[in-house]
């Protein structure tokens, strides 16, 4: 029994039109009670013009177009109605009120997509893609999410699932029918080889997924260096506007200044930081601490050096501080330097000549043309489950090498299989989906 749910699918604001969605077992009956036409007998998808009415008060609320989708041929897989009304918040509220008074209830966040998932219209990867498409801020990330919505990303898991099922069934048959001689015996080497083969597939998926995640979420980049090297100028050159204050006074930037730029499909969340040096100024010191914190949190650190000067102990300290970070070291103020052929990266934030840095960012991030086009399991949940499956396979491989009994090996293989099913939401559907759908907006 699926309760009939109602929600506004368009933003709650004044607009030309608004769409109210109704879905559930009693959808047609409830809408009929509020509509000038009876839709309970409708067999196919239909569009009807009529009035939404509060029949108890004999009052017309709005003239609307009603799109009727008979389940399972609807987004949710249930009987579904879209009421296209005039885009007034008052009207949409009145329509929802009258539907609720006649037996519908307000939908929770993501409940329509959740129903589509429960009725197997979409798998979990596709459901997540709907949310991703809505939240995409670049064309590239939207295109990637479209690949997921069409089911191409889900297909990536088919070979992994198949191979896991192959090896598990081989072991299970050995456990269940040890006496049958015509059954192929699962030998140790075979288990190890197949585990390795699947681990290899997963490694590739994780690698591609991590890259695609950068396209979807962007990366956090900290710009650090000692005072006056041109960090703020670099931030401004990258974002193309005067975000941060630039002066020739060392110690100009006190707090972290944020900026964002889309570099050929990769969004950089930039943090310009206070110049790092030993200082007696209380405020400056707080800024320096924040700069160090930014280094810890960043996925990429740009270390800015002043190319017109010799490196000093302050530069050395910063190089040491960022030693373990994923970093790019650049020499700024290239407009004042003549000899630049030593293989280092020279830029001029002042003249906005920063192409060598942009090229290096692309190289470090490791995205090529292909990454933008191919489906990938790109969110943290999907990548996390892939890694979980890999760990279980590593254990299975180890147990097999140590001659542990096949039924023990099989436990880890089953765990790996379940982790893969969880990516698609094919195991415990209701529980798994709960957390994901709660991030959706109401009406989606």
Closest CB to ligand GTP: residue number? 275
Q: Under rule CB under 6 A, how many of the chain's residues touch ligand GTP?
A: 24
Locus of tokens 């147990």: 399
Please, is 384 exposed, middle or buried when counting C-beta atoms within 10 Å of its C-beta (0-12, 13-18, 19+)?
A: middle
Q: Are 213 and 302 in contact (CB under 8 A)?
A: no
> Could you tell which of ligand GTP, Mg ion, none binds residue 174, using a CB distance below 5 to 8 A set by kind?
none
Binding mask 340-379 for ligand GTP (x = CB under 6 A): --------xxx-----------------------------
Determine phi and psi for 302, rounding to 5 degrees.
Answer: -100, 115
Would you say how long the chain is, in residues? 444
For position 24 contacting ligand GTP by CB under 6 A, the verdict is no
For position 424 contacting ligand GTP by CB under 6 A, the verdict is no
User: What are the CA-CA distances from residue 237 to residues 268, 274, 336 (Å)?
Assistant: 13, 17, 17
User: What are the CA-CA distances from residue 116 to residues 270, 288, 379 (Å)?
Assistant: 38, 50, 20
For residue 308, the minimal CB distance to ligand GTP (Å) is: 7
Of 328 and 349, which has the nearer Cβ to ligand GTP?
A: 349
Nearest residue to 132 via CA among 19, 221, 21, 215: 215
Q: Are 335 and 348 in contact (CB under 8 A)?
A: yes
Answer for which of 44, 179, 248, 323 binds ligand GTP (CB under 6 A) is 248
Of 151 and 251, which has the nearer Cβ to ligand GTP?
A: 251
Please, is 182 exposed, middle or buried when counting C-beta atoms within 10 Å of its C-beta (0-12, 13-18, 19+)?
A: exposed
Q: And the tokens for 154? A: 């889900």
User: What are the CA-CA distances from residue 434 to residues 117, 131, 283, 321, 407 (Å)?
Assistant: 11, 14, 45, 42, 33
Q: Are 119 and 194 in contact (CB under 8 A)?
A: no
- Give the interface segment with ligand GTP, choosing from 78-86, 137-145, 332-340, 406-414 (CB under 6 A): 332-340
Q: And the tokens for 189? A: 């080497």
> Could you tell which of Mg ion, ligand GTP, none binds residue 375, using a CB distance below 5 to 8 A set by kind?
none
Q: How far is CA 18 from the centre of its chain?
A: 28
Peptide bond just before 72 cis, omega within 30 deg: yes
For residue 247, the minimal CB distance to ligand GTP (Å) is: 6
Q: Around Cβ 165, how many Cβ atoms within 10 Å?
A: 13
* Strands annotated E in 28-132: 46-54, 59-69, 80-87, 105-106
Of 290 and 427, which has the nearer Cβ to ligand GTP?
A: 290
- Cα–Cα distance measured from residue 113 to residue 437, given in angstroms and rounded to the nearest whole number: 7
> Could you tell which of ligand GTP, Mg ion, none binds residue 349, using a CB distance below 5 to 8 A set by kind?
ligand GTP
Answer for which of 259, 265, 275, 425 binds ligand GTP (CB under 6 A) is 275
Q: Around Cβ 352, how many Cβ atoms within 10 Å?
A: 14
Of 17 and 250, which has the nearer Cβ to Mg ion?
A: 250
Of 202 and 268, which has the nearer Cβ to Mg ion?
A: 268
Positive or negative: CA dihedral 274, 279, 280, 286: positive
> Could you tell which of ligand GTP, Mg ion, none binds residue 127, using a CB distance below 5 to 8 A set by kind?
none
> Could you tell which of ligand GTP, Mg ion, none binds residue 250, using a CB distance below 5 to 8 A set by kind?
ligand GTP
For binding to Mg ion (CB under 5 A), which residues are involved?
A: 231-232, 252-253
For residue 329, the minimal CB distance to Mg ion (Å) is: 18
Of 211 and 333, which has the nearer Cβ to ligand GTP?
A: 333
For position 252 contacting ligand GTP by CB under 6 A, the verdict is yes
Q: And the tokens for 270? A: 């930039």
Of 36 and 252, which has the nearer Cβ to Mg ion?
A: 252
> Could you tell which of Mg ion, ligand GTP, none binds residue 209, using a CB distance below 5 to 8 A set by kind?
none
Of 358 and 442, which has the nearer Cβ to ligand GTP?
A: 358
Of 212 and 357, which has the nearer Cβ to ligand GTP?
A: 357
Beta pairing, strands 46-54 & 257-263: unpaired
For residue 246, the minimal CB distance to ligand GTP (Å) is: 4
Binding mask 196-235 for ligand GTP (x = CB under 6 A): -----------------------------x-xxxxxxx--
For residue 347, the minimal CB distance to Mg ion (Å) is: 16
Binding residues for ligand GTP, rule: CB under 6 A, are 225, 227-233, 246-248, 250-253, 274-275, 332-333, 335-336, 348-350
């Amino acid at each position: 029994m699926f309760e009939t749910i109602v929600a506004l699918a368009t933003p709650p604001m004044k607009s030309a039109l608004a769409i109210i969605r109704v879905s559930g077992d009693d959808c047609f009956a409830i809408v009929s009670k509020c509509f000038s036409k009876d839709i309970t007998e409708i067999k196919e998808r239909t569009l009807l013009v009529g009035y939404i009415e509060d029949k108890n008060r004999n009052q017309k609320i709005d003239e609307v177009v009603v799109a009727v989708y008979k389940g399972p041929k609807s987004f949710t897989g249930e009987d579904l109605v879209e009421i296209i009304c005039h885009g007034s918040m008052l009207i949409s509220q009145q329509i929802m009120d009258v539907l609720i008074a006649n037996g519908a209830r307000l939908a929770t966040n993501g409940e329509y997509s959740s129903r589509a998932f429960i009725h197997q219209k979409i798998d979990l990867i596709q459901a997540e893609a709907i949310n991703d498409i809505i939240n995409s801020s670049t064309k590239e990330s939207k295109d990637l999410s479209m690949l997921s919505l069409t089911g191409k990303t889900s297909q990536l898991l088919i070979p992994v699932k198949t191979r896991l099922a192959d090896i598990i069934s081989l072991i299970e048959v050995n456990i269940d029918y040890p006496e049958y001689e015509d059954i192929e015996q699962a030998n140790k080497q075979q288990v190890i080889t197949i585990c390795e083969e699947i681990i290899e597939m997963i490694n590739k998926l994780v690698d591609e997924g991590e890259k695609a995640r950068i396209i979807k979420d962007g990366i956090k980049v900290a710009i650090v260096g000692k005072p006056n090297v041109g960090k703020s100028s670099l931030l401004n050159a990258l974002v193309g506007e005067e975000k941060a204050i630039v002066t020739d006074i060392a110690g100009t930037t006190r707090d972290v200044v944020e900026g964002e730029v889309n570099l050929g499909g990769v969004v950089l969340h930039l943090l310009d930081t206070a110049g790092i040096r030993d200082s007696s100024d209380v405020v400056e010191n707080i800024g320096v601490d924040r700069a160090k914190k930014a280094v810890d949190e960043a996925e990429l650190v740009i270390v800015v050096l002043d190319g017109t000067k010799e490196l000093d102990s302050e530069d050395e300290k910063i190089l040491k501080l960022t030693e373990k970070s994923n970093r790019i070291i650049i020499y700024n103020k290239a407009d004042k330097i003549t000899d630049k052929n030593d293989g280092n990266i020279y830029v001029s934030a002042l003249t906005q000549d920063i192409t060598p840095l942009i090229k290096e960012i692309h190289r470090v991030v490791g995205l090529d043309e292909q990454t933008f086009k191919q489906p990938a399991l790109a969110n943290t949940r999907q990548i996390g489950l892939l890694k979980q499956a890999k760990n279980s396979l590593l254990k299975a491989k180890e147990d097999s090498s140590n001659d542990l009994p096949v039924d023990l090996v099989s436990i880890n293989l089953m765990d790996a299989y379940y982790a893969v099913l969880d990516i698609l939401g094919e195991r415990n559907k209701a529980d798994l989906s709960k957390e994901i759908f709660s991030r959706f907006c109401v009406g989606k």
